[in-house]
Each structure stands twice: as C-alpha cells, then as structure tokens.
Structure 1
Amino acid sequence: MANFKDQTLLVTGASGNFGRIAVEELLAKGATKVIAGSRDTAKVADLVAKGAEARKVDFDDAGSLATAFTGVDRILIVSTDAIGSRVAQHTAAVKAAAAAGVKHIVYTSAPAARPDVNAGLVPEHFWTEVAIANSGLDFTVLRNHMYADNNLQGIAAALASGQLFDASGTRSTSFVTRADTARTAAGALLTAEGKEILDVTGPAQVSPEEVAAIFSKLSGKTIARVGLTAQQLREGMAAAGLPAPVIDILVGFQVDASLGYHSIVTDVVERFSGRKPQSLEAFLTENRAAFAG
C-alpha cells in the first residue's frame, strides 16, 4: 500500500467534528505536511499547535479556494452542512482542486448516492460524485453509512414515551461511528490510489428491534420498537413541529433504509484506519450517560 505522508495533504472543514478527527489522525500517523482548512482559521489554532498549517477555505469564495489549494497534492473534501447549496459549493472546490494541480480527492458521500429527488440529501452527494468523476483527478469516494452518533438524538424521546419509531421495515442498518469514518478518510488520504467508490460501514447489521433492545438495556427501561410507514412517520414528525425540509431529509434516510441501502457491511474502516469499527452497542455503552435522563 502506498504512503503519501510526505505529500501536502489538506482537510476542509477542519474545525468541525469530522475534519478535526481527520487532521489529528493524519498527524498521529506521521503525515508531515498537513493543512487544516476552515472558514475561520482561529478555530483550528489547536491543530496548528499540534503541527498542522492553517489555511482559509471558504466554499463560497473561489479566491480562497485557489489560494488554499496551491501546492496541495491530496485533499479531503468534507461535505458541508449548507443543504441546498452543497452541489455548487462542492463543485467549486473540485474545480479549484483540479486547477491547482491536486492529484487525488477524497470525498465524504452517502449510501446509494443517486439522482432521486425523493431521497433526501442523497442527490446532492450524487452530483458531487459526478463533478469529481468528471474532474479527471483520481478519487476515493467514501459513502459513509448512518452514524451511530445519530442515535443519541433519539434517546430523550424514547425514554419519555417508551417507544422508538422508525420506517425501515424489516431491514437492518450497519451503523458506523463518526470517529471511525473520519479516521477512515484520513487513512484514504494517506494511502488510497486510483478511482474508487466505497461504502464505509460498521461491523454488523443492526435491526430496529436490536436498537430498541440496546436502548432498554442501557436505560433500564422497556423501550419498544414501533415500525411505521414512511407516511405515518412523516405525519408524526409534522405533528411534533418539525419543519418540512427536515422531515424530507429524515424520512428519506428511513426510506433508503427500508430499501436495504443501509444494510451493507464492508471492511473499509479496517482497511484504511487499521482498526476494527466500533459496534453500535459499544458506542452507546461508551455514551451511557446520555441514558440517565
């Protein structure tokens, strides 16, 4: 396996949870020229103290991209949180990378990326993948599966109601932790070659009933899984006051899960990070304090 630790490696969104872990992983693995890109370089001062260089990277400012990417060999583009604007932002970054002479792009995508307007955030990732493929550069597209971390957001409601709602039907999900995906992205930036699209998953499929059982075990309360149709889930979220755009995203995830797109299991985390992915139960046990409410 190749090792590009002495090339210039840039991580966008380095002040965020994902990007910060990726930069720290690169430094821990001996990368000698790591650039932490952020709209606000003051927010990556701690990474600079650890040995990274800070550069301003603003996906809405073409000038900042051209300057930031100068002299960069390989770049990790962490998808932004600007839903609705991400395709334009990511495409601008890809064009700037190609113009600057970047050789390899690593991108954080989503499972089953496709041009389906009913699939929530998935189309934005698809069109970004298209832009990357059309760039002529080598690339590693990492389709990160459902974060185990997202389950923490549903704990309070589950404890209050004794129910855990989903619309994934009979399908299971291969939950993966954000930390594992970030370390995987760092490993790909260090070693990946050629052109690949890969699914980044946890170690095993976990059924909705198993998720509820883990919640019950860690909370000491009985939490029952309640399976709904996508329409029922949509109506319930609307009744709870969630805005329509958020509902579309959340229901889109559930529909994709029901189609089996989230039940794939791969060895990509271990391949690039050098460690086995953490299981959902281990992650939630590690965060057991969240069940104390």
Structure 2
Amino acid sequence: MSEANTVPTIGVTGATGNIGGAVARSLVEARRGNDAGPSLRLIVRDASRAPVFEGSNADVSVVTASYGDRESGIRALEGVDVLFMVSAAESPDRVAEHVQFVQSALEAGVSHIVYTSFTGAGPAAGFTLARDHGATERVIQASGIDFTFLRDNFYLDVLPLWAGEDGVIRGPAGDGLIAAVARADVVDSAVAVLLHPERHRNAVYELTGGEALTFADVARRTSLLTGRSLRFENETVDEAYASRAHYGAPDFIVDAWVSTYTGIRDGELAAVSDDVVVLTGHPQRTLEDVLAGSVAR
C-alpha cells in the first residue's frame, strides 16, 4: 500500500460463493461508520451474480477475472493490497490456474495473499485434494508475496448433507475423527486476518471446530436436532468406489470422494486447534449451532 493511499484495498475472490460472499458482507459491515475502513474489490467470473450491498457507505467495486487468464487477473488485481484467494473449483487444472493467478498477483503488485487452504495440505496427504492445496501453498511461498494460509477442516455445515436420500452416510471412515469447522468460523477468522494482515504475515492457521466427531456422532446428533433419521454405514474402499460409480464422475473426483473418508479413517483430520478462538475471540460453533441456524432459516 502506497503512502498516498492510507485506505487499503482488499480483493475478495469467490464473492458469489458461501465463503467469499460472507467475507465480503462482513468486510462491508466493518466499514459502516468507519470512513477509514478498507476499500473492497469483488473479483468474480460473472458480474451479474456479484452481491449488492444496499445502504452501505462501503467503497465496493466489482471486476471480472478468471484464475487461469493472465491479463484479466492482472487488470483485476492492480491496486489491490491484500488478496483473499478462495481456492478454485475442483478440476484437473486447478493447480495450474492457481499458479497463474499468483503470478498475476505478483505482476499486479499485491503485497499479501490470504489463501483458503486445507488441513494437512501437502504432497503426502491422503485426501487427494489436499495435495492441490499443498502445491498452491508452495507456489505462494515461492512468489515472495507475504501470505497467510487458512487451513480449513471440512465444514460442519455440509457433513449431514453427505447422507443419501435414505439417510445413510456411507464411506470407509470407520471410527475416524473429524474436527470439522463451521463456515461462519472460517469467515470470522478470515475477516480478522484481512482487517489486520500485518499481524498475520507468513502465518499458517489450522481452522477446526472445538471437538472431533465420528460420522456416527454426526448422524446421531443431526437426527436428534432435525428429526431426520440419519445413520453412518462403514464401507470398504472397494465398496466405496462401487457405490459411487453410477454418478459417472471423473476419476479424480471419485478418488477425492473416497479419500475424504480414508483420510478421516487414518486420523488426518482429527486434530483440534484453538486458532479460531485466537483469531476471532469467540469459541468455535458446534454442530448443533450450525444445524440450529439451518433449521431457523
């Protein structure tokens, strides 16, 4: 950020999605009554879907860009001080798209990238998509741009949705534990970092819930609160591949689906961290908190 520009500009990608959109809303709220708050640039693929914040004094602009497009990336990022980079949708080209967007950020002069990574990110991760996140982390570190990595666990909000129409969550997870985190806690953590990035330079945070659950726990507790009867059915790896074959999904997606459960089985997602509490100042939301909000809506 230049000396002439005392108001930082925060770029937010994924603003049409759950995390990016909620982060944008929270940043707009932070600007209310504070003319020195950050300027906000929403970086989206489709401007018609960008959120609109009525009655706000926030300085919000919308630009279009694709991660894999160098020129649009540079145009979108010029003047951005801090970039909230939500990982791209799963695809065989995701890492390449991330590489290009980081290069665009470097060329545009972005000084800090806050990246939504994943628990256990790295080449040895059992969950296949966590390897993509590890590769992206290494690219950001090599760029020389200051960074903050928010390594999210799986979201509490979606675990009950993994049940089929018959109310069964199926997968080879056994009695493995998962320290799943509420989306709202990820948003609160991200906003805390984005508002004061200088305090979180080159830091890595593990964003988890306050407890680790088995899928049997998830099914039982969801059933008690919602009235929908859920249960967990353990599968072998071969059974897991067979039960998902009818979707006709690409091999890398099916591998990701199955490795979600085997990663949990092998303990890769069980560790509980207090980083959400440290960043936000409030305790982590529970599965019941998340479900109660869903039922209320």
Please indicate, yes or no, whether the TM-score normalized by the shorter chain is above 0.5.
yes
- 2:18 is aligned with 1:43: no
Q: Decide whether aligned partners of structure 1 residues 9 and 220 sit closer, same or farther in structure 2, where only a CA change above 3 A counts.
A: closer
**Alpha-carbon separation, structure 2, partners of 1:39 and 1:223:** 37
Could you tell me which amino acid in structure 1 is paired with residue 42 of structure 2? A
Q: Which residue of 2 aligns with 1:165?
A: 170
Q: TM-score, normalised by structure 1?
A: 0.87
Partner of 2:206: 199
SS in 2 for 1:148: coil
Aligned to 1:21: 22
Which deviates the most, 81-90 or 105-114?
A: 81-90
The one-letter code matched in structure 2 to 1:109 is: S
How large is the RMSD of aligned CA atoms in angstroms?
2.5
Shift of 1:270: 2.6
Kindly provide the amino acid, as one letter, of the partner of residue 113 in structure 1. Answer: A
> 1:90 deviation in Å?
1.0
Deviations along 1:169-211, one digit per CA (max 9) or x if unpaired, are 2221111122221232222122233212221111211122211
| Structure 2 counterpart of 1:89, from 87, 97, 100 | 97
- Residues 118 and 266 from structure 1, CA distance in 2 versus in 1: closer, same or farther, beyond 3 angstroms? closer
Structure 2, unaligned runs of 5 or more? 1-5, 32-36
Q: TM-score scaled to structure 2, two decimals? A: 0.86
Please give the alpha-carbon distance, in whole angstroms, between the structure 2 residues aligned to 1:117 and 1:212: 26
Q: Contact 1:36–1:54 at 8 Å: present in 2 too?
A: yes
Q: Secondary structure at the match of 2:136?
A: helix
Aligned to 1:143: 151
Q: Deviations over 1:41-75 (max 9, x none)?
A: 23225048643211222213211111111111111
Structure 1 stretches of 5 or more lacking a match?
none
Q: Distance between the aligned counterparts of 2:39 and 2:65, measured in 1? A: 17
Aligned CA distance change for structure 1 residues 99 and 36 (closer, same or farther; 3 Å): same
Contact 1:166 1:208 in 2 (8 A): no
Deviation at 1:158, TM superposition (A): 4.3
Are residues 289 and 229 of structure 1, via their aligned partners in 2, closer, same or farther at CA, if it must alter by over 3 Å? farther
| 1:91-170 → structure 2 map (5 Å cutoff) | 91-116=99-124, 119-159=127-167, 163-170=168-175
Per the alignment, do residues 74 and 183 of structure 1 end up closer, same or farther by CA in structure 2, a change over 3 Å counting? same
Aligned to 2:254: 247
3-state SS of 1:113 partner: coil
Partners of 2:187 and 2:82 in 1: how far apart? 16
Q: Is 1:180 aligned to residue 185 of structure 2?
A: yes
**Which residue pairs with 1:33 in the alignment?**
39
Match of residue 3 from structure 2:
none
Sort the Cα spacing of 1:48 and 1:39 in 2 relative to 1 into closer, same or farther, 3 A.
Answer: farther
Which amino acid is 2:20 matched to?
Answer: G
Return the alpha-carbon distance in structure 1 between the equivalents of residues 206 and 29 of structure 2: 24
Deviation for aligned residue 1:219: 4.5
- How far 1:230 moved relative to its partner? 2.5
The one-letter code sitting in structure 2 at the alignment partner of 1:22 is V
More moved, 147-156 vs 253-262: 147-156
d(CA) in 2 for partners of 1:223 and 1:54?
42
Partner residue of 1:230 out of 224, 229, 237: 237
Extract structure 1 runs of 4+ deviating beyond 6 A.
none
- Whether the 8 Å CA contact 2:16–2:51 is kept in 1: the answer is no
Q: Which amino acid aligns with 1:58?
A: S
User: For 2:243 and 2:23, how far apart are their aligned partners in 1?
Assistant: 37
Contact 2:163 2:170 in 1 (8 A): no
State how many pairs are aligned.
283
AA of the residue aligned to 2:112 = H
> Which stretch of the first structure deviates more once superposed, 175-184 or 75-84?
175-184
1:79 corresponds to: 87
Cα distance in 2 for partners of 1:61, 1:71 equals 18
Instruction: Output the CA distance in 1 between the equivalents of 2:258 and 2:62.
Output: 38
Deviation at residue 165 of structure 1 after TM alignment: 2.3
The one-letter code matched in structure 2 to 1:149 is: D
Q: Is residue 160–residue 219 contact of structure 2 (8 Å, CA) maintained in 1? A: no
